[in-house]
Amino acid sequence: MPLHDWNELADWETVHTYWIAELGRWLRPRLPPGYRTSLGTFPALVVAPAPVGPDVSVRRHPESLLPAAQNVPTNVPSGNLSELAPDLEVALALLDPARAVFVTRAGNLVAVIELISPRNKDRPETRRSTTDRLLGYLTHGIHVLFVDVHPRPLEFSFADDLAALVQFPSPPCPAPCAVSYRVGGPVPEGGLYLAAWQRPQAIGAALPTLPLPLTREVAVDIDLEQTYARAAADAYL
């Protein structure tokens, strides 16, 4: 099925849900023995420029309901509370609601498939946190395949953002695109080797098949076209 114009459609969340499930179904029977796949959400960390409150409710008990000994701490010297100010304060989102495909072996995460959503790049903070998450996978030796079918913002690409951060000499890869990264094998000077398969996409064209590395020698081919077509059909597109 040709890639839809996601500037014109508003059913991405439905397609995302079906597509990530199809990717999991495609991958499961093709994994070598000892590997397993699961669907789950991923944690998100956003560094805030100013102190903010967490997006959770905190219930406080009235002081009159507490034992008298708990009303005033006895182990904090009077007038020294300012010394307890934190060096850095962040806003921690408990979970990003988006789901990803995770591949594990012996309880260790080895590979991830993510589908980029518009909310992953609608603001500078979300673009930064998404890039940081993808970079975090790679620096921990976890292979990554991500697909971004959303052209906007036109001047931004996660593939280009990652390439700039790690000084990866790759040609520009604007969205929509699909990219797979293989990481592993120590570099004599320090660090890890990084390989990439970059596939810029066009609206109306078929999606590619890309390898999802599991090790430096082993990979599973992911048919993005077939899984996308099934997801779109389930979403009545």
Token pair 């004599």: residue: 188
DSSP reduced 3-state for 194? strand
DSSP reduced 3-state for 153: coil
CA distances from 142 to 17, 63, 145, 156, 193 (A): 23, 49, 10, 24, 12
DSSP-assigned letters across all residues of 25-93:
HHHGGGSPTTEEEEEEEEEEEE--SS----SS------GGGS-HHHHS-SSS-TT-GGGG--S---EEE
pTM of the predicted model as reported, rounded to 2 decimal places: 0.78
pLDDT in tens, the chain (237 residues): 789 999 999 899 999 999 999 999 999 999 999 999 999 887 543 333 333 333 333 333 333 333 333 344 445 444 554 567 777 766 555 455 678 999 999 999 999 999 999 999 999 999 999 999 999 999 999 999 999 999 999 989 999 999 999 988 889 999 999 999 999 877 777 778 899 999 999 999 999 999 999 999 999 999 999 999 999 999 998
Dist. CA 56–CA 58, nearest whole Å: 7
